Structure 1
Amino acid sequence: MLNLSRLQLLHELSVLGTISAVARSLELTRPAVSQQLSLLEKEVGFVLFERSGRGVRWTSAGERLLAGIGGILQAVNEVEADLARTAQTVSGELRIAAFGSAAATIIPQAMTRLAKQHPQLEIFFNEMEPGDGLKATAAKQVDIAIVDDLTGTENVALQLDFEPLYIDPFKAVVSADHRLASTGRRSVELWELAQETWALNQSAVGYQTFIVHACHAEGYSPKIMSSCRNIAATLEFVRTGSYVTVLPGLATHNIQVDPDFRCLDLRPLTQRRLFTAFAKGSKARPVIGSALEAFQQACSLFVNR
């Protein structure tokens, strides 16, 4: 009989890529993970993977077993959700992941609402870039993640369900004394930034790639002279008046009232879509359903701002 916990380990290895990453995820030693995976191979009677550099290469038997694990884990999630529905209160733990701009806007509002509505629920949050959030959700390190459509989901699509959450238009951000911040001006054409010096947030790879490609579509490559690791540093360069940037609307929420900045609608309309990601079969869990509702209510506060 196959051991469910060992199947989960194999699933995590397929998501995270290395035994070391699985060990860190579960706070186990690397030898302990290797031992459990070896026991799984003895149970099935086949070699499931071979070590290849820092990662692994799956055998045909390993690929066949992985193809079936998704359905098994989904069935387990559905059973857990069915049992959880019998509880009269939403309780236990909820682990959330989201990237920076969602962490500064949607998450605090949603967590506050959840804490008030469900005082017996313990909520833990980790800021993660969308790709890391997807991996963490697929590996069951977190229960639900906010991600965007700038990040590929091919490697985890079979393990996760997605629900639309928010459409986030990009904004051009300039200093208050910049030539594009003239009185009454509310929008800017992307091509108008062709001769400007840019500051961009390099930690969000999908976002930066998307913006660069959008500029290419307008016939130029942005002159990126400041490549920062966070939005706060990016904005400090813009504040000097020598740089411009383009940010998702959520990322500009906290500077809308700052007199040093002007946030301009971008033309042509450029936007990203936000989604919630969670394990297949887990939506029926009251804690996941409550989180989804709280996220939607929090997003309603930012529509048309």
Structure 2
Amino acid sequence: MLNLGRLHLLSELSVLGTITAVAEAVHLTRPAVSQQLAQLEQEAETVLFERVGKRIELTPAGKRIVKQSHELFRIVNDIESELAQGKAEVVGEIRLATFGSAGVGILPDVIKQLSASYPQLTLTVVELEPADAIKAAAANQVDIAIIDDMVDTGPFSEKLDFFPLCSDQFVVVMAENHRLAGRKVIRLKEMPNEKWALNLSAMHYHSFLLRAFHAAGVVPKVIANYKNSAAALHLVKQTDIITLLPTLMLHMDDALNGLTTVNISPNLTRKVSIALPKGISTKPSVRAVFDALNDIAEKITH
């Protein structure tokens, strides 16, 4: 009989791509993971994976087993959820991955609400770009991932459930004394000569913004590449440089002191969603976090 724990390791390998990454995810040593996977191959009496360059790729047999195991793990999650519902306790730890602006705009109030309502529940948060967050959820490294529609969810549709959370609009941010301050709307094509501070390190976010500029016939003059949005806002406040940020990021305390925002045309909006492993959405602790996320997202976006 195939071992469920070893099947889980193979499933994680299919997402993470290296034994080292799997070992880190499950808190085992690399040799221990290799040994367990080797035993799984012996049980299956076939080769399940092979090395391709620096990564490991599943063989056709390995891919079939992983695909068939999705339903098995969903059933296990359903069983665990049903047992948890019987206890009806909102306790323990829920691991959540979020991208930066959702962490700023939504998470603080979520944590406050959960702490007041469920003192025995701990929400641990890690900041990951949406592409990494969805992989973390698929590999069971986190229980909940907040993602956006810039990532391809297709490869994970058999392992994860997806639920809409909110929409997030991008606005131009500039100093209060900037010559464009006071405008209600600015067209991107009106700004071919502006100096920009943009985050170029997040690939999907970067591509999303550049596509919008290029569609307007503009090549932005990016003279500051800041990962840290607070640092970008400070730079914008002190200079004539402008930036383009999602409104979720602007919920920081005092974020807009000395700054102003202007809507842009064409409108740039992304859809924010929740991703979680199939079968766990009915667990009381997961449901409590899920409901709090939706409650706070609705309050700040309406």
TM tier relative to shorter chain:
over 0.9
Aligned length: 302
Counterpart for residue 155 of structure 2: 155
- Given that 2:250 and 2:256 are in contact with CA atoms closer than 8 Å, whether structure 1 keeps it comes out as no
Counterparts of 1:136 and 1:118 in 2: how far apart (Å)?
Answer: 25
Counterparts of 2:69 and 2:255 in 1: how far apart (Å)?
Answer: 50
The residue correspondences of 1:111-260 to structure 2 (distance < 5 A) are: 111-182=111-182, 185-254=183-252, 258-260=256-258
Counterpart for residue 19 of structure 1: 19
Structure 1: give runs of 5+ residues left out of the alignment.
none
What is the DSSP-based 3-state SS (H/G/I as helix, E as strand, rest coil) of the residue aligned with 2:219?
coil
**Bigger shift: 45-54 or 252-261?**
252-261
Q: Cα deviation per residue 1:22-49 (whole Å; 9 max; x = unaligned)?
A: 1111221111110000000000000001
Counterparts of 2:214 and 2:97 in 1: how far apart (Å)?
Answer: 32
Q: Cα deviation per residue 1:111-137 (whole Å; 9 max; x = unaligned)?
A: 211121112212211111111111111
Is 1:296 matched with 2:294? yes
How far the C-alpha of 1:279 sits from its partner, in A, is 0.4
What is the DSSP-based 3-state SS (H/G/I as helix, E as strand, rest coil) of the residue aligned with 1:229?
coil
Counterpart for residue 271 of structure 1: 269
Identity rate, percent: 42
- Given that 1:162 and 1:277 are in contact with CA atoms closer than 8 Å, whether structure 2 keeps it comes out as yes
What is the DSSP-based 3-state SS (H/G/I as helix, E as strand, rest coil) of the residue aligned with 1:201?
coil
How far the C-alpha of 1:253 sits from its partner, in A, is 2.3
Structure 2: give runs of 5+ residues left out of the alignment.
none
- Given that 1:49 and 1:56 are in contact with CA atoms closer than 8 Å, whether structure 2 keeps it comes out as yes
Counterparts of 1:23 and 1:211 in 2: how far apart (Å)?
Answer: 36
Q: Name the Cα RMSD after superposition.
A: 1.5
Structure 1 pair 200/257, CA: closer, same or farther in 2 (3 Å)?
closer
Counterparts of 1:153 and 1:296 in 2: how far apart (Å)?
Answer: 20
TM-score by length of 1: 0.95
- Given that 2:161 and 2:276 are in contact with CA atoms closer than 8 Å, whether structure 1 keeps it comes out as yes
Counterparts of 1:26 and 1:32 in 2: how far apart (Å)?
Answer: 11
Kindly report structure 1 stretches of 4+ aligned residues shifted beyond 6 Å. Answer: none
